[in-house]
């Protein structure tokens, strides 16, 4: 693949802009996977084997991903929307190439796989793989998601059992059940869900006469949020991570 096409596919601008970055000496390419020093390349049409290619653009390190899979530790006070209404968008936490990766249709860049409320923190996946988004969002696939819940009122065994047995939400006569649920202490609950209804955790706790005071997603499938990934930080997901996400606990 030509270097300008590689840059274009990774969100560094139009083909003309990408060609200009190369011709102006802003791009260096690592000759092989083990190389420690990249080599300058000013030929926009130079051919490279794209998968796994490492390169620098204006001093920043990048690796070719097609498609891209990203994990973000979502901080509180952010919205999972390209056009937020009140709080800053989570997309401002990502570098511009991730936001500008070309896609078919009007939407550009990686998209959140589902949404977390503005006050909810923790594990959020983003990708430009539409099939992955559909698979992860569909309740038919039953991908477990684990939440750490802080509640307002003391928990009791009856509330935990009701969450396991199923509660009825106001817009759906079919009971919604937790796949797993355990009280960590009087005011903290670990809750596992396999579907993602609107405000589901908050509404489930309201249905058992309690109230969510804090909500944090710590795990999707068998992949847990890395302890060294601070709120607002992101990292690439590799094949092993994707396998853990697809593993049903």
8-37 residue pLDDT tens: 999 999 999 999 999 999 999 999 888 999
Q: Where do the CATH 3.30.70.1560 domains begin and end in the chain? A: 144-220
CATH 3.40.190.10 fits 69-137+231-239, yes or no: no
pLDDT digits (tens, 9 = 90+) for 179-229: 999 999 999 999 999 988 889 999 999 999 999 999 999 999 999 999 999
* Location of structure tokens 């930080």: 233
| CATH class as words, domain 144-220 | alpha beta
pLDDT digits (tens, 9 = 90+) for 37-64: 999 999 999 999 999 999 999 999 999 9
Architecture of domain 3-63: Roll (3.10)
- Choose the catalytic residue: 32, 43, 117, 171: 117
Q: Where do the CATH 3.10.290.10 domains begin and end in the chain? A: 3-63
With beta carbons less than 8 A apart as the criterion, state whether 187 and 159 touch. Answer: no
- The pLDDT assigned to 249 comes to 43
117: annotated active-site residue: yes
Q: Is 51 exposed, middle or buried (0-12, 13-18, 19+ CB in 10 A)?
A: exposed
- Find, among 191, 216, 219, 194, the residue nearest to 205 by Cα: 191
């Amino acid at each position: 693949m030509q270097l300008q096409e590689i840059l274009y596919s990774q969100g560094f601008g139009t083909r003309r802009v990408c060609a200009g970055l190369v011709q102006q000496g802003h791009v260096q390419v690592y000759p092989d996977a083990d190389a420690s020093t990249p080599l300058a390349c000013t030929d926009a049409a130079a051919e490279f084997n794209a998968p796994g290619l490492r390169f620098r653009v204006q001093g920043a390190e990048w690796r070719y991903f097609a498609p891209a899979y990203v994990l973000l530790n979502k901080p509180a006070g952010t919205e999972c929307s390209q056009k937020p209404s009140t709080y800053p968008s989570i997309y401002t936490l990502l570098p511009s190439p991730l936001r500008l990766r070309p896609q078919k249709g009007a939407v550009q860049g990686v998209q959140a796989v589902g949404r977390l409320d503005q006050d909810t923190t923790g594990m959020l996946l983003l990708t430009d793989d539409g099939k992955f988004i559909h698979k992860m969002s569909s309740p038919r696939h039953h991908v477990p998601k684990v939440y750490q819940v802080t509640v307002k009122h003391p928990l009791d065994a009856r509330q935990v059992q009701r969450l396991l047995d199923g509660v009825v939400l106001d817009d759906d006569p079919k009971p919604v059940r937790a796949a797993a649920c355990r009280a960590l202490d009087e005011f903290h609950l670990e809750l596992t869900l396999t579907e993602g209804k609107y405000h589901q955790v908050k509404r489930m706790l309201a249905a058992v006469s309690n109230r969510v005071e804090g909500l944090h997603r710590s795990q999707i499938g068998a992949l847990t949020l890395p302890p060294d990934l601070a709120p607002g930080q992101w990292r690439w997901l590799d094949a092993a991570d994707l396998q853990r996400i697809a593993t049903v606990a």
